[in-house]
Structure 1
């Protein structure tokens, strides 16, 4: 253990020493200042000031003008420079060239006046429409706000249309075929499990989302969790001093009704920024499922034909409120609270026919499962950010606390019938599953520019998680509900993770390099109170990362990256509870799951900063995989999580936005990947699955008039294999129309998703000896209408985007 501490210390000190030596090349007295005004001599705050090399216009440093319009650059190297000033709604301005030397280190540019450009703004309104899919150097961005197809949808439905993103039959999110994605909100980790993340996104209206960022290979600054990368969902922010807001209302109809409404407000003056939003949605959603299964025994083969349907009804309340206090130009104090209050009900109807063939039935089971649920979550954040000096040193501290409380009650009404239709043995059981999760975290981030081309980032974080799940299983005997101690259980899980990271960024003439190192210490204890079984773990891991970007020429860029990552089991996956659909279909946790580790390599090429081609290879050991397996003793099919030996993934992604005319633009994304699973001993037999998969995503935007736009989006995923599952191809087509009026303050959007009602999942077994076919069809063809009205001053600056300490842990909460 000691050599790990020595290695971490040595690498940190080595990098710090290199940074310190490199920092000595700047002129400490160098200073460039000025003040930005509009044509009426009114100060312009939050204008973007770019300091450029006079020789090649290369960017040296950026700044944002203060409330009085002033800006300042310090600690610069000698050289020839000019300054560029830009702001939306104003003409871009560039100053004359000037020189900084040791003899003359200061330059006062005085008052810089910029002019409004109404003509330019008019052109931007018509032409500069953001594409639905936008490729940036280190991530893919889905511009939800600009899409009419996304109107009235939920965040989960929009996410499912993102390139390379898929959801399985249980709404587990995968990116480029790999599960274990870390989902963040506004740069903050949700600390929820995949099931709870899906539940949250299912209840979040798309009107609340601005963009979705897909980050396939994150740096050491991020928590090491998430072998598939990070999905960062940025919620909308109200955009000098004053008040503004947005009012949204929508309705939709498929086989069932849904509706939503929301209000967001933002007030800003010289000293504070107060913001908040509230969104309500109600929805009914249906699903149909068919499972045909054949169980072969030593003397007899049994056929199970199962058909089922359910209706899920949800009422959801999501809210956020925050306050930023600008103490002075260098110090900001912020408070944030967000949460949700959701409730729902589900009614399942399942019929299982059992016999010697699918047409010859000798018995049956009819199960009616009636469930109700309530979920409450509150998260609190306090943040302090300070600029330590004029060179740009920054320190940010976050304190976080989150409490999640959920409860689900399910009544299982099972009736067993003979071939002649007579009842043999009715069964009534019920589950009560209260769950409480408390999360505390403290995070410190420090940023230090050593020169105009070198920067260091460092940070520390500790988190503490405690989950308490009480599974109460009861049977109805003699008209009295009685606890079944053999199936009831209380499971308490405690976890503490302590982490530190160091990032070094160095910019050369045409090359940028980032080296990162993250260390994490994990202490955990899973305690099954009822069975008196504990699983304790304590381990330290090191996660290096390397990012290199090379500008080959004006139009060609090449990037190479490597990172090592970890995924710890979700809290519910460790929980040994059993959940039943009927006595032949159930789900069970696995308290003996180990964390999985991934080495991720990526090569990317960009042409004209627009077209991108990315190659990725990753190898995951002890991969946590959701599997469907047979219970031969009960002739049942059950779902659980297992550590498979390894997962191998090769992928290629091509993104090509194309403007076919002034009124027709497209964004096209193609992914080809191979995902293979290997396990020499999965419940007594070898697993070797995998195949090449093609994913296509094409978005088309049409500018019909200055105020009307249309969209047509299509996606296709070829058949794939995931662990023990074979999943057939999936495809669909969406249509949208958007109309702006009232001087662009109001907007109405119409959308029809899955026009031909083709999106469904067909699943069979990749596990030898298990024979089943599952067809699952959700309600996907839905028509929606959404009205949005923006009021107040549109130029108000948004709330700060900042990352809290509650990120990796919340992503692992599950229902």
Structure 2
């Protein structure tokens, strides 16, 4: 793998050498730049189209679109005189004649170009824009699922399976560049919904609500340093155009049902939005088997435990929210949002157990049946208030954000192990209830100050306050009755404060030959924990400097390379810190350790992007990641294990440890190829994970993930898609994680002038189950397990969009927000 990365580096370096021989900004070419603003209120117009024509020509030979701040820059312009046009829907086209690029004036600035809004309202306008599936930006990759047919009617996890550098295993665990320590954000903000169960939270977000997903493998200093894997930011759909509009999405299927409703309204300087979404995973049954062979420390006793059973599982959730946008003045904007989230799952299973214990020539057979029930639910409320202040100077702005998130979670379980086969051993059982709360407050302030045209400074500070607590009340079966057990009941409180400051720069060097961002972030963490049977425990405080940078060079207008680095940490999660035992399965018990240290990681990435004519695109990223104090779960087999006043036998105890170091190195390849009515996309990931634990042999595990997405346009607004995903197994420090293959088919027909669509999906239609086998071993045990996960499903989905957009601008306002009398009528639409 090191050789692969080195070869990739040489290839990209060769492109760089070629580019330096004929750089895009050589002495024979120039550039045209400028900014596009709305003529009525001087606000930027993003995504306006800039076209450059040669005199007498009716077709442009070069062009660009404005960025969200209205800026544009077009390179590789040969000396000459040209015509420049600027246009955007809802505005009058602007034409600029006699724009001359010469040896004496290579860099032509057109200054601020004002577009005048069309003074009427457009009714029943359908706007169709084909957004690229993947956008490669200087510090992130953006996946746009607008044309993702196989995910229609699905959830966020279904969309994540298509995202470059992201991998989702059969259990819904998400990896980014092979690392599960990911910081998840919703609309750029943290939420406590990810604290209790990331998998359940991602299952509760319908795919129809997702606008795009940002993947930030090496976040800059402005972002929190948490997450050695990086950041995944899920951007939900909203709408900031004038008028009233919305959408309805419904889907029904044999395994999953979804529904969502969005409504947005904006008039003048006030905009509001509401949404509701809900989904349910219908009850499905998963058969499973497990065989474990264990040995006593003296190797004179061998125990074989065979488990065979099935578990019925179902999941449900819903989300709702309200947002308010208020343009107080042309330079002051206020945004407030309130979101409510609920999700949960329920499992009910029966397992037949046959245990044989051999003592030399003597053996003892023990047969039993274990009935287990579990129920998990969480309610979360997020509130955010954001204020943005802009200034007369371009790109200068001040941002303030207050975010508060509160969730209450309940975990209930019951388990009863009854002995059969004529045994008189009394049954063992317990009932547990585990309610808890999670509160997080984030306060941040950010300021951006342009110094020169090619150099900008950003700085800011943030405070994060977390307060997590839960209690466990356990009843154990005693003489046929369930009795409160004080020895297995407890409370645990955990408080953490994080204070951060950052300084970063954005720059362009050597006449735009090299663009980049660089900065450093300092975070200071203090934490305390308290339990019901001990005094408060103060966990040692620590500070960390987290530097980061990304450098990007355009070889030409179709090719670019970038190199990035970040130093990050992963703080141990609440479940890893909780020192009390989870005994919902007496043969598989888990516990935590409050003394865990944060995992520290160095992340390097080298990327190459190439665009071709007719829309083809490739992106190659080679990465090297080195972690110390690596947080990993480890299972130990214990012949006996005592919790409170009860001793359990033949227990696999799982706990998180700071295990030595881990190295991930590999390559990710994304490619998109239009071919007539076909469009092919492939995302391939190859990596080697090397884990070193002092005193133990080094473990190396190679893994790959390959998926292929093929879509076809049948015409008449009918499209089809096929998606297949192949994920290999991977060796770990204690065994092997399972591999699997699944595939989906989908059709979508747009109707009612593309205001509505009907879709059909089929997941794994030719296979009822996906067989998932894994192996776990230790010095004195070996366990093999097999689960048959029912993924086959069929579904139908319906989408309907309604409303009108008014392409009218607000009257200009003075600095106090008062409308002037001598201007046009209101409304803003893009």
Alignment TM-score, normalising by the size of structure 2: 0.81
Contact in 1 for aligned 2:405/2:440 (Cα 8 Å): yes
Distance 2:41 2:194 in 1: 50
Distance 1:60 1:260 in 2: 36
Query: In the superposition, relative to structure 1, how do residues 130 and 51 fare at CA in structure 2: closer, same or farther (>3 Å)?
Result: closer
Query: In the superposition, relative to structure 1, how do residues 361 and 475 fare at CA in structure 2: closer, same or farther (>3 Å)?
Result: same
Aligned residues: 734
* SS in structure 2 of the partner of residue 327 of structure 1: strand
Distance 1:698 1:680 in 2: 40
* SS in structure 2 of the partner of residue 583 of structure 1: coil
Query: In the superposition, relative to structure 1, how do residues 723 and 270 fare at CA in structure 2: closer, same or farther (>3 Å)?
Result: farther
Distance 1:528 1:368 in 2: 31
Aligned to 2:274: 276
Contact in 1 for aligned 2:727/2:740 (Cα 8 Å): yes
2:659 to 630, 637, 644: 644
Shift of 1:240: 4.1
Distance 2:139 2:49 in 1: 22
Query: In the superposition, relative to structure 1, how do residues 548 and 114 fare at CA in structure 2: closer, same or farther (>3 Å)?
Result: farther
Contact in 1 for aligned 2:46/2:66 (Cα 8 Å): no
Query: In the superposition, relative to structure 1, how do residues 106 and 506 fare at CA in structure 2: closer, same or farther (>3 Å)?
Result: closer
* SS in structure 1 of the partner of residue 693 of structure 2: strand
* SS in structure 2 of the partner of residue 199 of structure 1: helix
Shift of 1:45: 8.3
Distance 1:193 1:528 in 2: 24
Distance 1:110 1:282 in 2: 50
Distance 1:369 1:767 in 2: 26
Distance 1:635 1:734 in 2: 41
Shift of 1:464: 0.6
Contact in 2 for aligned 1:551/1:557 (Cα 8 Å): yes
* SS in structure 1 of the partner of residue 197 of structure 2: helix
Shift of 1:93: 5.9
Could you tell which deviates more after superposition, 537-546 or 367-376?
367-376
Could you tell which deviates more after superposition, 179-188 or 773-782?
773-782
Distance 1:556 1:586 in 2: 53
Could you tell which deviates more after superposition, 47-56 or 179-188?
47-56
Distance 2:720 2:240 in 1: 25
Aligned to 1:332: 333
Instruction: Within 5 Å, give how 1:133-282 maps onto structure 2.
Output: 135-168=136-169, 171-193=172-194, 196-238=197-239, 240-254=241-255, 258-282=256-280
2:709 to 677, 681, 699: 699
Distance 1:795 1:290 in 2: 61
Query: In the superposition, relative to structure 1, how do residues 112 and 399 fare at CA in structure 2: closer, same or farther (>3 Å)?
Result: closer
Distance 1:396 1:42 in 2: 21
Matched, 1:774 2:777: no
* SS in structure 1 of the partner of residue 226 of structure 2: coil
* SS in structure 1 of the partner of residue 97 of structure 2: coil
Contact in 2 for aligned 1:367/1:582 (Cα 8 Å): no
Aligned to 1:402: 405
Contact in 1 for aligned 2:92/2:117 (Cα 8 Å): no
Aligned to 2:627: 620
Aligned to 1:763: 774
1:382 to 385, 410, 413: 385
Contact in 2 for aligned 1:549/1:560 (Cα 8 Å): yes
* SS in structure 2 of the partner of residue 635 of structure 1: strand
1:743 to 749, 753, 756: 753
Aligned to 2:638: 631
Shift of 1:679: 0.8
Shift of 1:750: 0.9
Distance 1:746 1:345 in 2: 35
Distance 2:68 2:357 in 1: 76
Could you tell which deviates more after superposition, 595-604 or 400-409?
400-409
Aligned to 1:714: 724
Contact in 1 for aligned 2:331/2:389 (Cα 8 Å): yes
Contact in 2 for aligned 1:754/1:782 (Cα 8 Å): yes
Query: In the superposition, relative to structure 1, how do residues 271 and 464 fare at CA in structure 2: closer, same or farther (>3 Å)?
Result: same
- Structure 2: runs of 5 or more not aligned: 1-32, 55-60, 74-78, 641-648, 809-830
Contact in 2 for aligned 1:49/1:64 (Cα 8 Å): no
Query: In the superposition, relative to structure 1, how do residues 580 and 323 fare at CA in structure 2: closer, same or farther (>3 Å)?
Result: same
Distance 1:82 1:450 in 2: 32
Query: In the superposition, relative to structure 1, how do residues 734 and 653 fare at CA in structure 2: closer, same or farther (>3 Å)?
Result: same
Could you tell which deviates more after superposition, 731-740 or 480-489?
480-489
Contact in 2 for aligned 1:341/1:376 (Cα 8 Å): yes
Query: In the superposition, relative to structure 1, how do residues 350 and 90 fare at CA in structure 2: closer, same or farther (>3 Å)?
Result: farther
Aligned to 2:23: none
2:605 to 602, 606, 621: 602
Shift of 1:602: 0.9
Query: In the superposition, relative to structure 1, how do residues 665 and 530 fare at CA in structure 2: closer, same or farther (>3 Å)?
Result: same
Structure with higher RCO (Cα < 8 A, 6+ apart):
1
Aligned to 1:570: 573
Residues 40-73 of structure 1: CA distance to partner in whole angstroms, max 9, x if unpaired? x9999845458999999898985667xxxxx999
Aligned to 2:10: none
Residues 529-588 of structure 1: CA distance to partner in whole angstroms, max 9, x if unpaired? 224462512111000012111122343312111110010011121012222343212222
Aligned to 1:813: none
Query: In the superposition, relative to structure 1, how do residues 405 and 34 fare at CA in structure 2: closer, same or farther (>3 Å)?
Result: closer
1:784 to 782, 795, 798: 795
Distance 2:466 2:632 in 1: 23
Could you tell which deviates more after superposition, 576-585 or 484-493?
576-585
Distance 1:185 1:325 in 2: 21
Contact in 2 for aligned 1:689/1:766 (Cα 8 Å): no
Shift of 1:523: 0.3
* SS in structure 2 of the partner of residue 576 of structure 1: coil
Aligned to 1:811: none
Aligned to 2:698: 688
Instruction: Within 5 Å, give how 1:160-559 maps onto structure 2.
Output: 160-168=161-169, 171-193=172-194, 196-238=197-239, 240-254=241-255, 258-286=256-284, 287-297=286-296, 298-355=299-356, 362-417=365-420, 420-478=421-479, 480-508=481-509, 509-532=512-535, 534-559=537-562
